[in-house]
Amino acid sequence: MPRKIHRLFIFGWLCTFLRQTGASYEGVRILVVEDERSAARMIAKGLREHGHAVDVVGDGEAAVRLAADTTYDLILLDLLLPVRNGLDVCRDLRARGIAVPVMMLTARDAVGDRVTGLDAGADDYLTKPFHFDELLARIRALARRRALPLLPARVECGRLTLNTRTQEAFVDGEPIDLTAREYALLEYLCRNEGAVISRQEIAEHVWDNRYDPTTNVIDVYVQRLRRKIDREPESFIRTRRGAGYQLIGVHAVSR
Ligand code: CA
């Protein structure tokens, strides 16, 4: 397929994807290994819009290095890559005992390539060009098989309710206008309701490699969330000095 048309296809999938609200898995950390920059950018953008933390690399060597250093929930791995191809990457990860679920993305559709990919340790195989909905459906299926964190469609934390399919939050039934990142942060805190969550944990699950630990971006986001969800005189999110944050939803607590 000519490059331009290929890009248009990807853009089409992205638009459809953004209109759809079918993903019920929570924000997971995904490594996208794709050397075609526009495709990588669009896949990453789409996944981020959905609250996932996404890192992108363009060659196989960098992919192995990152996957060895970072705990990913899923790797989307292109087959044809510079430096080391996807099969080589997959074999290397498995040889190192890294059991992260791997989905191969490739322009090839020959049965032999699929078999080789699966034999190399991939969990699933998706032929490009693919529909973004199919990618999402396969991620969900993989999440179920590999016990990736899954959320019910509706999460209740006291007066706070989340619809994880539409990524909407409600306080006392009133919708709250949140950005994708604010929603992902809130969902992560709700999922760990009552537990004290460190900034490090938040960074790992809600941000990605673009997170800069020298900034106070997490605190800024927590403040924004509080402004949006708190109803005086009550606050959902407690600051635990030196430890992190704690969401108390059951009886939204006094400040
Ligand atoms: Ca490629």
* pLDDT at res. 243: 92
Cα(225)–Cα(219) distance, rounded to whole angstroms? Answer: 10
The residue out of 146, 174, 205 marking a domain boundary is: 146
Q: Ligand 1 centre and the CA of 129: distance in Å?
A: 12
Q: Ligand 1 centre and the CA of 34: distance in Å?
A: 6
* pLDDT at res. 90: 92
The CATH number covering residue 101 comes to 3.40.50.2300
Q: Ligand 1 centre and the CA of 106: distance in Å?
A: 7
* pLDDT at res. 17: 41
User: Within this chain, do residues 171 and 115 fall inside the same structural domain, yes or no?
Assistant: no
User: Within this chain, do residues 232 and 161 fall inside the same structural domain, yes or no?
Assistant: yes
Q: Ligand 1 centre and the CA of 130: distance in Å?
A: 14
Assigned domain for 184 exists: yes
* pLDDT at res. 110: 67
List the domain range (segments joined by +) for residue 128: 3-146
Cα(63)–Cα(208) distance, rounded to whole angstroms? Answer: 15
Assigned domain for 38 exists: yes
The residue out of 88, 119, 146 marking a domain boundary is: 146
Q: Ligand 1 centre and the CA of 160: distance in Å?
A: 43
> pTM of the entire structure?
0.58
* pLDDT at res. 150: 53
What are the residue ranges in the chain where pLDDT is below 50?
1, 5, 8-25, 251-255
Q: Ligand 1 centre and the CA of 59: distance in Å?
A: 9
Q: Which residues contact 92 (CB under 8 A, 6 or more apart)?
A: 64, 84
Assigned domain for 253 exists: no
The CATH number covering residue 222 comes to 1.10.10.10
Q: Is the dihedral of CA 123, 127, 133, 135 positive or negative?
A: positive
Instruction: State the alpha helices, DSSP H only, in 120-255.
Output: 132-145, 180-191, 199-206, 217-229
Q: Ligand 1 centre and the CA of 236: distance in Å?
A: 45
Q: Which residues contact 27 (CB under 8 A, 6 or more apart)?
A: 50, 51, 52, 53, 184, 187, 188, 205, 206
Q: Ligand 1 centre and the CA of 5: distance in Å?
A: 16
Q: Which amino acid is at 44?
A: A
User: Within this chain, do residues 84 and 140 fall inside the same structural domain, yes or no?
Assistant: yes
* pLDDT at res. 57: 96
Q: Ligand 1 centre and the CA of 80: distance in Å?
A: 4
User: Within this chain, do residues 160 and 93 fall inside the same structural domain, yes or no?
Assistant: no
Assigned domain for 254 exists: no
Q: Ligand 1 centre and the CA of 234: distance in Å?
A: 51
The residue out of 109, 131, 146 marking a domain boundary is: 146
Q: Which amino acid is at 210?
A: R
* pLDDT at res. 227: 93
User: Within this chain, do residues 104 and 188 fall inside the same structural domain, yes or no?
Assistant: no
SS3 assignment, position 8: helix
* pLDDT at res. 23: 38
The total number of structural domains that make up the chain? 2
Q: How far is CA 104 from CA 15, 101, 242, in A?
A: 22, 10, 41
Q: Ligand 1 centre and the CA of 131: distance in Å?
A: 17
* pLDDT at res. 6: 52
Q: Which residues contact 110 (CB under 8 A, 6 or more apart)?
A: none
